[in-house]
C-alpha cells in the first residue's frame, strides 16, 4: 500500500509518501510545497492545489492521511486560513480519486512517540527511527507528514491483523 501523509499549511505544506508491504514500511518520497506568502490567498491556494495534484499524479498513492485542524480559541483567524488549505488538500485528493482520512495531532504523536504532547524534535527522531533514515527529516513539516502516514499505516495494519485473527 502506498500512503501519502500531509501536514497542511498555507505557506509550507509537508508531504510524505511511504510504501507498506509485508509488515514493513519504507520511504518513497517526502518534501514540501512552498507558497509565496506575499501572494494573495487565492493565488497561494492555487499553487498548493497545483503542487499537490502534480505530486499525486506522479507518485500515485492509494490513500491520503491528513493532520486534523487544530485551533486555539485565541487564534480563530488561523483556523479559518488553515481550513482553506485543508479544503484544497481534500479537493486535490478527491480529484485524484483518493480516500482521505484525518488524524488529530495528539493521536499521531501518541502513536509514534507514546506521548500526545511530544515536541517536534521527538516526532522527527521517531520518524527517522521508524523509516531507518540516516538523518532527521527536515524541515519538521516533512517529519509531521511522514508521521501522519505512519500513523495511518499502524492503525490500518492493527485493524487488518485484528480482523484476520478473528476470522481464523
Active site residues: 7, 67, 141
The gap from C-alpha 154 to its chain's centroid, in whole angstroms, comes to 14
Q: Report how far residue 4's alpha carbon sits from residue 125's, in angstroms, rounded to the nearest whole number.
A: 19
- The answer for 65, left when phi > 0, alpha when psi is -120 to 50, beta otherwise, is beta
Element (H, E) at 100: strand 100-103
Q: In what order do the strands lie in the sheet with 24-34?
A: 24-34, 12-21, 2-7, 63-67, 100-103
Amino acid at each position: 500500500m502506498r500512503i501519502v501523509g500531509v501536514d497542511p499549511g498555507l505557506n509550507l505544506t509537508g508531504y510524505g509518501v511511504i510504501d507498506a508491504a509485508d509488515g514493513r514500511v519504507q520511504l518513497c518520497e517526502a518534501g514540501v510545497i512552498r507558497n509565496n506568502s506575499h501572494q494573495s490567498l487565492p493565488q497561494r491556494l492555487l499553487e498548493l492545489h497545483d503542487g499537490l495534484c502534480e505530486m499525486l499524479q506522479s507518485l500515485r498513492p492509494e490513500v491520503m492521511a491528513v493532520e486534523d485542524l487544530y485551533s486555539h480559541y485565541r487564534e480563530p483567524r488561523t483556523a479559518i486560513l488553515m481550513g482553506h488549505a485543508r479544503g484544497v488538500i481534500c479537493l486535490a485528493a478527491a480529484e485524484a480519486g483518493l480516500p482521505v482520512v484525518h488524524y488529530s495531532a495528539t493521536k499521531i504523536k501518541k502513536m509514534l512517540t507514546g506521548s500526545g504532547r511530544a515536541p517536534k524534535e521527538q516526532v522527527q527522531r521517531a520518524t527517522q527511527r521508524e523509516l531507518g533514515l540516516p538523518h532527521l527529516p527536515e524541515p519538521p513539516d516533512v517529519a509531521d507528514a511522514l508521521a501522519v502516514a505512519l500513523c495511518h499505516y499502524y492503525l490500518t495494519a492493527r485493524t487488518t491483523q485484528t480482523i484476520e485473527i478473528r476470522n481464523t
